[in-house]
Amino acid sequence: MKAFIDGRIGRSRPAGQALPGWLRRGGPALVLGLAMLVCTATPAIAAERKPITKATGGARSVAAKEDALPLSRDTLFGLDAPSTGAQTVPPAAREEVVPATRDALFGLEAPEKPAEPAPSAPARMATDSAPTPKPADSREALFDLAPAFRNETSQTLAVAEARPTGRQGVGPRGYLQTELAYTYGEPEHWSKTMLRLQVGTAGQHAGVKWKASARLDYNPVYDLTDFYPKPVRDAERARFFIHETYLDFATGDWEWRVGRQNVVWGEMVGLFFADVVSAKDLREFVLPDFQIQRIPQWAVRAERFGEDWHAELIWIPYPSYDLIGKPGGDFYPYPPLLPGLAPVIEAEQKPAHTLKNTNYGLRIARLIDGWDLAAFYYNSLDAAAIFPRELTATQQIYRPRHRRIWQVGGTLGKDLGPFVLKAELIYTDGRKWNTVDPTDPDGLVKQDTLDWVLGADFQPGVDTRLNAQVFQRIHFDHDPGIIPERRETGASLLINHKFNARWEAEALLISSLNRSDRLLRPKLVWKPQANRRISLGVDVFHGPATGFFGRFDNRDRAYLELRHDF
């Protein structure tokens, strides 16, 4: 059925219809009050709190989001095995211990000696490509996978040395997270009261490693208020899905991973560039942590390792696509609309699951004189939806669809001493863009693009880290009917400072250099214990209605997040 956009575009619905007046007027104060309540009314937590020894250096490399760069696959979802009495490493340092084998990664082998202390601050500033002064004795050492820059791609380099035939495993691990968000842009409303639970386990049997995890999201805001249209409330109230769930095994020189998994080919700060394989949950734009945004793919992945190289083949028979929600959601990606015609957004149509609609790709990485270089090719049905258009006498009708594209690109990383250099380059062929030209039959024009990003991570102080990036998208054969200019350039700056072992502050600014179009994200983080985190911050959008950030100019919000890992 066709569904008219309910007025979220340029809507001026009275705030009183969104929620009771006392909630509307006291929204921001209530959010701040909740934070103060948590900080002051936790005597039980304080009583059981143990001193946390500050890890040497106290800083990791920069990431836009704290959980975007986990230390291991299990850490990504809170599946680490609990510490034992014999372990002497304090919690802050223990989080940065690098597993030497996949058995250690899954917590399936007992340590022969206490874990080594966390590396010094300069050592932790190394990237995936940091040079090694002596021959590597493992694939982890070969690519110098410093915890600060570890991602899913890097983690695949962990060597599988021992494969016991007995049945082993770890108990359930995961996290519980509560997220509150109050949008103070007009119209004011509660936009999120999320309860998020993720649980998983891992183990091995007869030489086969396995992992299983699932996540449940429930947002009571859709039950407590009628601000959002019914299709949005029904679609986004609750979501249960299988997260990373796969088998790991080896055949000869090849290592295989089969199942639902994250395949991360690139990772920068704040935005996605070379991370072309992952589908994303974009119902909150790019605001959530990367680990929450990424949607795993059902894939078959084969990897082979040489002395200084790594090859990776992937086949995705059952692709996942970006989750954009329903029209009327706060961050629904509306296409540019024509004036004078009523807009209609039909239901998104996803491709049938047939052999011709599968995705596949190849990635090759090599370490040369400390430079971590990688190149990839990926052919897929675009995870991002396009919006073909049909015009009638009174309506403009859009039908979200997915079309095939191919992408080729590369990444590099290098520790240059004073700073860590990272770069990504991606050429995309076949993607179509919406045009505002009313004479175009379907409202789409093909635009091949080249994206590049250059970033540097600095550590000006022991407890301060800084990241700066510049990025650009070039449209070849630029069509004047599309909103972006031929060259769209932007920059970002992230500053993080740790006041002590428990308190830190962070601010991220991402801005267009073509126009006044930006996103500012300051936040304050308190960690009362190693497995507990409380974050308080704001997301501030600014720009024109057609800007990448400015289209959400009235979505400014304050938020509070409480997370417990177990």
Q: What is the pLDDT of residues 515-552, one digit of tens each?
A: 999 999 999 999 999 999 999 999 999 999 999 999 99
Q: In the prediction, which pLDDT does 166 show? A: 52
Residue with tokens 């694939």: 139
Q: Are 77 and 104 in contact (CB under 8 A)?
A: no
| Number of Cβ atoms within 10 Å of the Cβ of 162 | 13
Tens digits of residue pLDDT in 500-524: 999 999 999 999 999 999 999 999 9
Both structure tokens of 236: 């986004």
Residue 168 has pLDDT above 90, yes or no: no
How far is Cα 457 from Cα 516, in angstroms, rounded to an integer?
A: 25
Q: In the prediction, which pLDDT does 117 show? A: 43
Q: Are 433 and 444 in contact (CB under 8 A)?
A: yes
Q: In the prediction, which pLDDT does 67 show? A: 40
Q: Are 365 and 264 in contact (CB under 8 A)?
A: no
Backbone angles phi, psi at 333, to 5 degrees: -85, 70
Q: In the prediction, which pLDDT does 256 show? A: 98
3-state SS, residue 461 = strand
Instruction: Find, among 291, 359, 295, the residue nearest to 323 by Cα.
Output: 295
Backbone angles phi, psi at 222, to 5 degrees: -75, -15
Tens digits of residue pLDDT in 411-441: 999 999 999 999 999 999 999 999 999 999 9
Mean pLDDT of the chain: 80
Q: Which residues contact 448 (CB under 8 A, 6 or more apart)?
A: 427, 428, 429, 430, 431, 475, 476, 477
**Higher pLDDT pick, 166 / 270:** 270
Half-sphere exposure of 304 (CA within 13 A, CB side): 9
Per-position DSSP letters for 135-182, written without gaps between them: --SSHHHHTT--GGG--HHHHTTSB-----SS-EEEEEEEEEEEEEEE
What SS3 string covers 68-129? CCCCCHHHHCCCCCCCCCCCCCCHHHHCCCCCCEHHHHCCCCCCCCCCCCCCCHHHHCCCCC
H or E segment and range at residue 215: strand 208-218
Q: In the prediction, which pLDDT does 200 show? A: 97
What are the Cα distances from residue 535, in Å, to 177, 467, 558?
Answer: 11, 20, 11
C-alpha angle with apex 33: 31 to 39, nearest 5 degrees? Answer: 110
Residue 553 has pLDDT above 90, yes or no: yes
Q: How far apart are the first and last CA of the chain?
A: 44
Class of the domain covering 3-565: mainly beta
Q: Averaged over 250-258, what is the pLDDT?
A: 97
Q: Which of 65-79, 263-277, 283-297, 337-351 is least confident?
A: 65-79
Which band of pLDDT confidence, cut at 50, 70 and 90, is reported for residue 62?
Answer: very low
Which residues pair with residue 345 across a beta bridge?
A: 3, 398
C-alpha angle with apex 409: 406 to 410, nearest 5 degrees? Answer: 155
Q: Are 366 and 392 in contact (CB under 8 A)?
A: no
Q: In the prediction, which pLDDT does 167 show? A: 59
Tens digits of residue pLDDT in 103-158: 444 444 444 444 444 444 333 333 333 343 344 444 444 444 333 333 333 333 33
Tens digits of residue pLDDT in 487-501: 999 999 999 999 999
The full set of domain ranges for the chain reads: 3-565
Q: Averaged over 315-335, what is the pLDDT?
A: 97
CA gyration radius, the chain:
24
Query: Is the peptide bond between 480 and the residue preceding it cis, with omega within 30 degrees of 0?
Result: no
